[in-house]
Amino acid sequence: MVALKLPDRHSGEGDVPHLYEAIASDLLNKGYSINIGALPEALTEALWQQVQSLSQQEFSAAGIGRDKGHMVNNFVRSDEISWITGETDTGSRWLDWAAQLQAYLNRRLLLGLFSFESHYAHYARGDFYKKHLDAFKGQANRTLSLVVYLNPGWQPEDGGELVLYTGDDGHKLQVTPGFGTVVAFLSEEFPHEVLPAQRDRYSIAGWFRVNTTNSAKVDPPA
Ligand SMILES: O=C(O)CCC(=O)C(=O)O
Ligand SMILES: [Fe+2]
């Protein structure tokens, strides 16, 4: 008798269109998407291994704002970050996964996402990130925020939820930072915060940008 092997949705990084489509349709309908434990398991495991192997030296205090405006402000956020590059196998697998998501969203939603940057974040016990927006309206910088959590066995009493303010009426959602959960939201639309956790909390935060190199100069005059 021939044993049929059923495809395992989480067996590899190849089977991603289902998740990409879930994110695309959620963004279209609501502007945000929450997918519990949805990142391919092998990739989540590898990222978890990597974040655990980073030494304290490879993390630095997270700042607010970019370039000259960049400031470390422990009143707003107290986590530490480490930028992800394609120099390691795991880093490049993650960046490939994000690039495929970018390509899918551009095809499906015509978002015109152009670049992606991301970092690991470590919130030690008690760390937080107060309510903020990842981008400011009118400055076409960060368009889509993406967060993935790397915390096996997270319990409700561990805290550390992401609070996403989804409505003008103050309506909010709380997301448990559980292993492989993937959250995406339009950066200009959704204020959010990270509540203090009772144990170490690991994540990746990333942002897709549109191309801001002065399109007026590049486009031919009408
Ligand atoms: O870790 C999270 O849940 C969100 C992090 C965040 O808001 C940020 O890094 O901008
Ligand atoms: Fe944020």
Ligand 1: atom nearest CA of 205 is 9
Which is the closest atom of ligand 1 to the Cα of 177? 3
The helix-helix angle for 89-109 and 41-53 (nearest 10°) equals 130
Phi then psi dihedrals of residue 136, to 5 deg = -115, 135
What ranges do the domains of the chain cover?
17-52+84-206
Q: Region 67-90: what's the mean pLDDT?
A: 80
Residue type, 217: K
Question: pLDDT band at 37, cuts 50/70/90?
Answer: very high
The answer, yes or no, to whether ipTM is higher than 0.85 is yes
What is the C-alpha to C-alpha distance for residues 89 and 86, in angstroms, rounded to an integer? Answer: 7
Ligand closest to Cα of 202 equals 1
Task: Please tell me whether the overall predicted TM-score, pTM, comes out greater than 0.95 for this model.
Answer: no
pLDDT range class, residue 136, cuts 50, 70, 90: confident
Reported CATH class of domain 17-52+84-206:
mainly beta
Atom of ligand 1 nearest to the CA of 193: 7
179-217 confidence digits (pLDDT tens): 999 999 999 999 999 999 999 999 999 999 998 765 554
> Would you state the pLDDT for residue 84?
96
The two tokens of residue 195 are 């509540």
Instruction: Tell me the percentage of the chain whose pLDDT exceeds 70.
Output: 82
- Three-state SS string across 137-173, please? CCCCCEEEEEEEECCCCCCHHHECCEEEECCCCCCEE
- 75 compared with 67, residue with greater pLDDT: 75
- Closest-CA residue, ligand 1 atom 3, reads 162
- Give the residue from 114, 115, 61, 51 showing the smallest Cα distance to 88: 51
Q: Is 34 helix (H, G, I), strand (E, B) or coil?
A: strand
pLDDT attached to residue 178: 98
Q: Which two tokens stand for residue 120?
A: 């690991």
C-alpha of residue 130 to centroid of ligand 2, in Å: 9
In angstroms, rounded to a whole number, what is the distance separating the alpha carbons of residues 134 and 145? Answer: 7
User: Could you tell me if 205 and 135 are in contact, meaning their C-beta atoms sit under 8 angstroms apart?
Assistant: no
Q: 151, exposed or middle or buried, with CB in 10 Å at 0-12, 13-18, 19+? A: buried
By the CB criterion, residues less than 5 angstroms from ion ligand 2 are: 134
